[in-house]
Amino acid sequence: MKDIREQLAELAHEQWAGWMKYLFVNSTEGEDGQVIIPASLVVRWKRQMNTPYLDLPENEKESDRVEADKILHFIRLNFYPNTRS
């Protein structure tokens, strides 16, 4: 079970790292190392984090589905290796 736990932890890290890369690409880093997130993204992300999944627009749901697909792929590989995906 530890192996599966470690693999899931690796996936969680990859998903987090992907988010952080996106955040930093869309932000501005000052000479002092501070990072400034554009106000338009702050407004958008606050709206998204306070909106239940079912109430999100379809394009935002699709972004979450892409992440869910990564988890499903892991499950299929580890628990149903002989099925086609």
Report if residue 69 sits inside a domain: yes
Report if residue 38 sits inside a domain: yes
Helices (H) and strands (E) in the chain, counts: 3, 2
What percentage of residues in the chain have a pLDDT greater than 90?
A: 79
- pLDDT recorded at residue 1: 56
- Residues lower than pLDDT 70 in the chain: 1-2, 84-85
Report if residue 85 sits inside a domain: no
Report if residue 56 sits inside a domain: yes
pTM assigned to the model = 0.76
Number of domains in the chain: 1
* Residue from 71, 74, 47 nearest 60 by CA: 47
Report if residue 84 sits inside a domain: no
Report if residue 66 sits inside a domain: yes
- pLDDT recorded at residue 84: 64
CA distance 78 to 14: 18
Domain containing 35: what range? 2-79
